[in-house]
Chains A and B, each alone.
Chain A
Amino acid sequence: MTMPTNQGVNPVLQGGGERDSRSLEPKANPKGGGAAPAGRPELLTPTLAELADFVVEECERLDEGAYESWLELFAEDGLYWVPLAHGQESPDSDHSLFSENPALLRMRVARLRHPAAHGMAGPLRTSRVVGGFRLLEAGSETARVSARFVLVEYENERERLFAGKYTYDLRRMAAGWRIARKRVDLINCDAPLASIQILL
């Protein structure tokens, strides 16, 4: 078992680093102007920069192997969805490479953490670069943002490349922005693939 555990890997993820640990908290858009009504700060539409920060943070948690804190970013009725078909309309319109709610994702993480997860015996590490952020919809309560990604997986002395597009449906909740759905469109979703143990 060589995956880093959730504890003490990255102080940023634990909110102890130099980075603004409140970056995932709901906040008013400083450029939005306008005084909040008495009692509660006004929630304004998010900026692209704010949501791009969220995406970068989400990816960082995955690449650091901080799966438990990654799970916290999902709304309880959220969905992690990787279509099998290119341009697939919905998880109901075809089969999926992944179509998992937080309960199933917790099961996935529990298996990754199990000391006898044989598939995890060798090193399994990832690093991804995200860019090309686009704000597709922005409301005060919900937002949709997309990004292009390139992901390198390192497993048992082999590198494998994944590339494609992330599309996040986000919901503003008491604790901050949460993922209602993360859609991962792989450019080779319909190709023959070796086992995928990582979270894309």
Chain B
Amino acid sequence: METAMANWYEAGRAHASVYRDPEVFALERERLFKVAWIYVGHESQVERPGDYLRSELVDEPILLVRGADGEVRGFFNRCPHRGALIAREARGNAKLLQCAYHGWSFRHDGALQSIPYEEGYAGTDLGGQREAWGLTPLPRFASYRGFLFASLAAEGPDLESYLGPVAINLDNMVERSPLGKIAVWGSRFSIVKRNNWKVYLENLHDGAHALPTHVSSIRAAQQAIEQAPDEWTRLRAYIMAANAQSPKDMAQLPVQCYPNGHSDMSAFRKTRPDTPGQREYEEALARRYGHDGVERILGVDRNNAIIYPTLTVQPNWMQLRLLVPLDVETTRVDIWIFKILGAPEWIQQRIRAFTNTIHTPGSLVRADDLENFERVQLGLRARSVSGINVLREFTAEPAGPGPSTAMSERYVRNQLETWMRYMKEER
């Protein structure tokens, strides 16, 4: 280690090694990523019996399968024989899960179905304990309203208590559907970032970065709004121009910090335009929830949320981002967009306009974020200097649960305090 754990973080000051030391990263895997609940998929990706989805739990290959009983189960994606991946393709449907190498096959509940030349195992413990030779189930696996999470720790808080109040963001995504049903929509985006995973999380509610970082796309977007030939072009430009809000405006945007490092940010972009499409959507919602229900659901108005440590959510735009830390300086982010089942086409198009503007690797907004994240990573290589600070609107009490705004770095302190708690805990 570059420096002792006691020096990693205290009271708004972090040591740069927290972001650049490969040994810290290795310890994060053991004490944080393999302990916390990690998002691994959505039920709509394994809709029918026999549907399976290849996924990852941090850096371990896993497999989600829906059985004939309707239950979705999670297993390590490896054959108990010699360890080959059972599923190589991203998803599929199969009567039996069969290993491509020696043909061992398994049922949807993971139980061993057959082994070619099983008599060759006579006299081994396979004969007596056939049921123990199935796929290995994940230590813990749970669904929150269709969002599937897993943990490599056999013990710990259940998913619902782990999420706590931040779950409102997942609730809100589901409730935005007039049928109470959403589904992964289309292909996922996947972005490679040249920065430590924390650098991205620590930017998510940061109102102070918007103007300096995004000045180039803001100016371009403001011109484009004026010259937009149609509604969707104007929306796409507006989405980028929202970064033009002044520090004073940003200080009005509520950011809530929750236990376990979670947080969310409200408002930011106007999401209920006065258009026929929006009215049609709200009427469809009202048929299920009533007008008060519509006000409650759309009034949640969360721009984004962090489900610490690897999931971020944009309920207003029906989108999830999963961080996959690859090494101490590289992070992959996979992005899924959700379809609001039972909603008019206009609202889906609106989500697509946002998606194609913000979530593509071609995004003008992202380009300058990623550049600055990389600059952080490169600057922190100055090993002779150790400190960084997250002191904006610092107060002495724990950052833990409590309110702040988009101009405060409290949510970053909340993450780092949580991070320290995990890192200190030996297992």
Contact = CB atoms under 8 A, between A and B. Distances in A.
A192 B352 contact: no
A119 interface: yes
Contact of B360 (A92, A96, A114, A192): A96
B221 interface: yes
Contact of A95 (B217, B334, B359, B364): B359
A95 B187 contact: yes
Contacts of A193: 190-192, 361
B389 interface: no
Given A84-B189, A104-B233, A121-B371, A97 B362 contact: yes
Interface string B215-249: 11101110110011100010011001000000000
B215 A114 contact: yes
B224 A117 contact: no
Contacts of A103: 224, 227-229, 233
B356 interface: yes
B360 A97 contact: yes
6 contacts: A84-B360, A95-B186, A103-B227, A107-B223, A192-B192, A197-B362
Contacts of B219: 110-111, 114
A120 B371 CA distance: 9
B85 interface: no
Interface residues of A, number: 33
A175 interface: no
B310 to A, nearest CB: 16
Contacts of A120: 216
Given A103-B229, A119-B371, A98 B360 contact: yes
A68 to B, nearest CB: 13
B364 A111 contact: yes
A110 B213 CA distance: 16
Given A95-B356, A103-B233, A117-B216, A195 B370 contact: yes
Nearest to B225: A107
Nearest to B233: A103
A190 B335 CA distance: 12
Interface of A: 82, 84-85, 92, 94-99, 101, 103-104, 106-108, 110-111, 114, 116-121, 190-197
B355 interface: yes
A103 B359 CA distance: 19
A106 B224 contact: yes
B410 interface: no
A78 B215 CA distance: 27
B409 to A, nearest CB: 21
Nearest to B363: A195
A117 B368 contact: yes
A164 to B, nearest CB: 14
Contact of B361 (A92, A99, A118, A196): A196
Nearest to A106: B224
Nearest to A83: B187
A87 B362 CA distance: 19
Nearest to A115: B216
A50 to B, nearest CB: 30
A120 B194 CA distance: 16
B220 A119 contact: no
Q: Which of A82, A94, A119 has the most chain B CB atoms closer than 10 A to its own CB? A: A119
A194 B329 CA distance: 14
A75 to B, nearest CB: 13
B220 A107 contact: yes
B399 interface: no
Interface in B332-374: 332, 334, 337, 352, 355-356, 359-364, 366-368, 370-372
B412 to A, nearest CB: 21
A27 B92 CA distance: 52
